[in-house]
Amino acid sequence: MSFINYSSREINCKLVYYGPGLCGKTTNLQYIYNKTRPEAKGKMISLATETERTLFFDFLPLSLGEIRGFKTRFHLYTVPGQVFYDASRKLILKGVDGVCFVADSQEERYDANIESLENLRLNLNEQGYDLDKLPYVVQYNKRDLPNAMSVAELSKSLNGTQVPEFEGVATTGVGVFDTLKMLAKLVLAELRKGT
Amino acid sequence: MNPQLVMFEEELKQIQKIADRLQQDSRARSILLIDKNGALVAAAGAAHELDTTSLSSLVAGNVAATGGIAKLLQEDEFTGQFHEGKGMSINLSLVGRRIILVVLFDKNTTPGLVRLRVKRAQDELVPIFEELAKKALSPQSSPLPDITDQDIDNLFND
C-alpha cells in the first residue's frame, strides 16, 4: 500500500510489471528510464543473472511532479517471469498499489500468458489482494512481430474484466508511456477515494 | 496485507530525534528507517552521501527475501541481519512488522555497541509506529481530495 508522508507532503506508490518470461517487462522499464528527464528519475537497479534474465527484480524510481502540493513518487518494479522464480514474485507483490500485466503477443507464448495471469491472481490472493479491485492495466507487447495474435483474440482470453489495454512494442517505446500513464492515473484515482 | 503507512509532523519529529540519538550513541555513520515496501521514512547522520532511494529498495528486497526464507523454515521472522564489509558494515533490524531500521557503520564503532543501542531505539520506535498504524486505519480525508484528471495528465506533459 502507498506511503503518504503528510510531514514532507509526499506520496509513494508501488507499481509492479508482471508477465511471462521474456515478455518485455524489463524492456518497458529500460525505455521509461531512457526517456525520462534525469531530475525525474533515480538509478535503475536490475538484479539479474549473468545472461541478463531478471533474478529478483528491476527497480526504477520516478518523481513525476506535484499534485495539489504533494510530490508524487512512483516505484516501478518488475518480477522475474520464469516459472521457477515464483517465491520471488510473491515477495515483489507485497505492498503493491497497481499492476501492469505485460503479455507476449506471439502465438507460441499464448499458454505462457495464461499461466502467468493465473499465477498473478493466485499470488495476489495469497497476499490478501484481489486483482479485480486493484488498479490494473494490460499491455499486449511485441505487436511488431509477424506471429503476433490479434488484439481481439488476446483481449478475449487475457482481459475478461475489460481493464484498460494497450498495444506495445517496448523495444521502440510504442505504448510504453501510455500504459504507465494509465496505471499511474488509476492508482492516483484510487488514492483520491481516501483511505 | 499491510495497511497504508502514513507519517505526520509530530511523529516524524519523535522518530528523527531517536534516529539522531542512535547515530550519535552508536557512533554509526548513518541511520535509515525504511518501510518494508522500500520507501525511505527517515534518515540521520551522513545519509546525504548515500543513494537512499536505491538503498531503500534493495534493503526492502533483502528483508523480504530473508522473510521468505524464514517462512520456508517455519520461522516467524528473522528479526536481524548483519553484513560485514572491509570498510562499512550494515545492521538491519525490524521495528514492529512494518519498518526496517538500518545502521551503517565503520571501524569507528563495534557491532556489539551498535546492537546494544539499536535495541533501545527499537523499544522507543515501536509505540510510535503502532500509533501511526492506528492513525492510518482511522478515517481521514484523502490527501488528494480535489485532484482532477487534468492534474494527473499534467504530470506526464513533459
B44-72 per-position pLDDT tens digit: 999 999 999 999 999 999 999 999 999 99
Could you list the residue range(s) of the whole structural domain that residue A44 is in? Answer: 3-192
Tally the domains of chain A. Answer: 1
Q: If phi over 0 gives left and psi between -120 and 50 gives alpha, with beta otherwise, what is residue B16?
A: alpha
Report whether pLDDT(B100) > 90.
Answer: yes
Global ipTM: 0.86
Neighbours of B111 (CB within 10 A): 13
Pairing type for strands A98-104 and A136-141 reads parallel
Residue B4 in domain: no
Instruction: Name the DSSP class of A50.
Output: T
Rounded CA-CA distance B75/A120 in Å is 26
Instruction: Name the DSSP class of B103.
Output: E
pLDDT band at B147 (very low <50, low <70, confident <90, very high): confident
pLDDT band at B130 (very low <50, low <70, confident <90, very high): very high
Could you list the residue range(s) of the whole structural domain that residue B99 is in? Answer: 9-155
pLDDT band at B143 (very low <50, low <70, confident <90, very high): confident
**Residue holding cell 525511505?**
B40
pLDDT tens digit string along A40-51? 999 999 999 988
Residue B2 in domain: no
pLDDT in tens, chain A (195 residues): 789 999 899 999 999 999 999 999 999 999 999 999 999 999 999 999 988 899 999 999 999 889 888 999 999 999 999 998 999 999 999 999 999 999 999 999 999 999 999 999 999 999 999 999 999 999 999 999 999 999 999 999 999 999 999 999 999 999 999 999 999 999 998 988 864
What's the CATH number where B104 sits?
A: 3.30.450.30
Residues 93-122 of A with CB under 8 A from B: 94-95
The sign of the CA dihedral B127, B130, B135, B138 is negative
| Residues B7, A8: C-beta atoms closer than 8 Å | yes
What's the CATH number where A104 sits?
A: 3.40.50.300
Report whether pLDDT(B5) > 60.
Answer: yes
Most A CBs within 10 Å, among B13, B156, B157, B158, to test the A interface:
B156
pLDDT band at B140 (very low <50, low <70, confident <90, very high): low
Of all residues in chain A, the one with the smallest CA distance to B136 is: A195
- Which residues, 6 or more positions from B3, have their beta carbon under 8 angstroms from its beta carbon? A1, B133, B136, B137
Three-class SS of residue A56? Answer: strand
Tally the domains of chain B. Answer: 1
Rounded CA-CA distance A128/B37 in Å is 15
In this complex, is the C-beta atom of A65 within 8 Å of any C-beta atom belonging to chain B?
yes
